[in-house]
Structure 1
Amino acid sequence: MTDQIFILIPSFNEGKVIRQTIRALGNQYQIVLIDDASTDDTANAVRDLPIYYLRHDINLGQGAALQTGMDFALQQGADIVVHFDADGQHNPADIDRFVGVLKTQKVDVVLGSRFMRQEDLLAIPRLRRLLLRVARLVNGLLTGLWLSDAHNGFRVMNRQALRVIQLKENRMAHASEILMHIRRQKLRYVECPTHIVYSEYSQVKGQRWQGAIDILIDVFINKYFR
């Protein structure tokens, strides 16, 4: 029996690139685009594509969009879900490789890492590389999971993980919250190398260092005051 693999793509105002991102995935997966109340032409850009299109009436954040997608995939009977960025940073060829690791190593979650291969590491802009190293330290202290790459958005998880990971952090702190769920729920996990493409477009849209401070505040509140 073939696994039902759902690709979840949270998106906000990615109309310029979203069609290209989706078409690069081919037609072997169930693709779910979660439009987080975009104000650009995202809806028109994907109107004729064979995908599931979900839309938030108001902008809630990437964490909320992922949770909407995970709830939908669970209802649709997904066996495996993939978190995939809308801006074209992730490599579609990595999906089958990560799914293979999920099955052969019998884990619940496979987490992408930019720090396991030299070629992936060198592709990271220098300032971002520094921020990611700091994030690794802080996330290790807060979540108890000492990963090589604590904020990589490329993840693959099985149905068991899909059931128990319930995100409350609507915005970017969801990445740390996922790690907390993995530890609390005693999910089996492994890191796997992945290559991130830092195009001019994705770097302009990317997270700023000020946003990293907001993420740390949200994570601290989630851990100690909720």
Structure 2
Amino acid sequence: MLLGKKIAVTMPAYYAAKTVGKTVADIPREYVDIVILVDDASKDDTFATAQALGISVFRNEKNLNYGGNVKRCLQLALDAGADIVIQLHPDYQYPPKVTLPMAAMLATGYHDLVLGARTSGKGARGTMPFWRYLPNRLLTMVMGWCFGVSHSEFHTGCRGYTRKLLETVPFHEFRNDFIFDNQMLIGALRHDFATSEVTCPTVYEEDSSSIPFSKALRYGIQCLKISIPYFFERITSGKK
């Protein structure tokens, strides 16, 4: 509980058996009321390993893909009565302690969506592979222009939402692939929810999850396909 708000940390998991233990261990449990992990039909020991950690663990009988798994995570958090939901990947790429400042940003009532920005400040320079860092910065610049909001990055998987936002934005209608997170952002902007960010250090280790270059390229194209139409939607609707 934080400022009277019930906090849930949700973890969309896929082949996370090696990292989920240390991820859960670093979550600030004195403020987090519930930790929910959904294993997306991994064929390793993710499900069993997570069950032994004393958190709420669920398993998809068939793979729902990234977006589909996040949808289930978010809905389970709402069903558990969470006022604030933090999305944290269990591969330890995002430091779990950052969930506290993210939750605090949302608990103040000034914002409804917070991004854990890896490129804020010094950010991921020196830790994020250059072939990921440079496209991230360029794509973020274009998308910020389209969205009419300024953030250090839009591609982080570490995000936080208020209950009000999740009950307003029809997230179950969005795609089940990696573009889901940015569809959520556009949905929030369409409903005039305030967005924010916190600096999120990042660690790229051997066990950290990472999509291959071909999928990253496809993701970048998808970002442009949803961002450019939203730019014209924003302009024609009179939004700044």
- Normalising by structure 2, we get a TM-score of 0.83
Give how far 1:47 is off. Answer: 2.2
Distance (Å, rounded) in 1 between the aligned partners of 2:131 and 2:221? 21
| 6-15 or 26-35, which deviates more | 26-35
> What residue is the counterpart of 1:89 in the other structure?
93
Paired residues, number: 222
Corresponding letter in the other structure for 1:129: Y
Give how far 1:150 is off. Answer: 1.1
Give how far 1:9 is off. Answer: 0.3
Q: Report Cα offsets for 1:188-208 as digits up to 9, x if no partner.
A: 111221111111221xx3122
Distance (Å, rounded) in 2 between the aligned partners of 1:113 and 1:207? 18
| 86-95 or 214-223, which deviates more | 214-223
Q: Report Cα offsets for 1:111-140 as digits up to 9, x if no partner.
A: 121222125434322211112123214433
Q: Secondary structure at the match of 1:87?
A: coil
Say whether 1:186 aligns with 2:188: no
Distance (Å, rounded) in 2 between the aligned partners of 1:123 and 1:42? 26
Give how far 1:58 is off. Answer: 0.9
Structure 2 unaligned segments of length 5 or more: list them. Answer: 230-240
- In the TM superposition, 1:52-201 aligns within 5 A as 52-104=56-108, 106-140=110-144, 143-165=147-169, 166-167=171-172, 168-201=174-207
Corresponding letter in the other structure for 1:201: D
Contact 1:64 1:169 in 2 (8 A): yes
Say whether 1:21 aligns with 2:41: no
Corresponding letter in the other structure for 2:60: H
Where in structure 1 do 4 or more consecutive aligned residues deviate above 6 Å? none
Distance (Å, rounded) in 2 between the aligned partners of 1:101 and 1:122? 27
Distance (Å, rounded) in 2 between the aligned partners of 1:7 and 1:36? 17
Distance (Å, rounded) in 2 between the aligned partners of 1:117 and 1:180? 24
Structure 1 unaligned segments of length 5 or more: list them. Answer: none
Contact 2:37 2:55 in 1 (8 A): yes
Distance (Å, rounded) in 1 between the aligned partners of 2:22 and 2:58? 18
- CA RMSD, 1 decimal: 2.2
Distance (Å, rounded) in 2 between the aligned partners of 1:150 and 1:48? 34
